């Protein structure tokens, strides 16, 4: 397995727990209003630099996540609390959504977020998969 890349979980200072991961970065809770987006590989911040530049161009807008700061650890971002609460709740029930994206976050009449399209994985307490639909490999519009 010479070509294998191993990603080791780590927690920068202040990160209480990881709430999400993507193809190149983790998102960890700092406090009730802030998350830290940081790279899987500690010294590879190329993707974060691009995101910080784009957020800088966009500036302040009520519907765009706020960049609160950028340091050697990663990007400090405003916490998208409602979406994160929905995912955290699903995880307490041993449900993995597996397709969290804008199209699966709906708004109710009070403009509160509702997570939908549960076709992921459900596991027992012992980790046995009870329901597993598969994955979404492509999105068609």
Q: What is the DSSP secondary-structure string of 83-131?
A: HHHHHHHHHHTTEE----SGGGEEE-TT--EEE----SEEE-TT--EEE
90/112 same-domain check? yes
Q: Please give the positions annotated as active site.
A: 99
Is 140 a residue whose pLDDT tops 60?
A: no
Domain hosting 97: range is 81-132
The tokens for 48 are 């974060």
Give the pLDDT mean for 25-48: 89
Q: Does 58 reside within a domain?
A: yes
Which CATH number do you get for residue 38?
Answer: 3.30.200
Q: Choose from 12-21, 61-70, 79-88 the range with maximum mean pLDDT.
A: 12-21
Q: Which of 33, 53, 78 is the last residue of a domain?
A: 78
pLDDT digits (tens, 9 = 90+) for 81-122: 788 888 888 888 878 777 888 788 888 888 888 888 877 777
Q: Does 7 reside within a domain?
A: no
Q: Does 8 reside within a domain?
A: no
Q: Does 34 reside within a domain?
A: yes
């Amino acid at each position: 397995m010479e070509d294998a890349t191993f990603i080791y979980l780590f927690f920068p200072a202040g990160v209480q727990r990881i709430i999400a991961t993507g193809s190149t970065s983790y998102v960890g809770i700092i406090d009730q209003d802030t998350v830290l987006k940081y790279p899987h590989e500690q010294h590879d911040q190329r993707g974060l630099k691009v995101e910080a530049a784009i957020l800088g161009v966009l500036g302040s807008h009520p519907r765009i996540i706020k960049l609160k700061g950028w340091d050697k650890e990663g990007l400090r971002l405003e916490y998208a609390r409602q979406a994160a609460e929905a995912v955290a709740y699903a995880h307490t029930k041993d449900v993995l959504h597996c397709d969290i994206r804008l199209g699966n976050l709906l708004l109710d009449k009070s403009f509160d977020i509702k997570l939908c399209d549960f076709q992921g994985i459900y596991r027992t307490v012992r980790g046995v998969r009870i329901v597993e639909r598969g994955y979404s490999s492509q999105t068609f519009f």
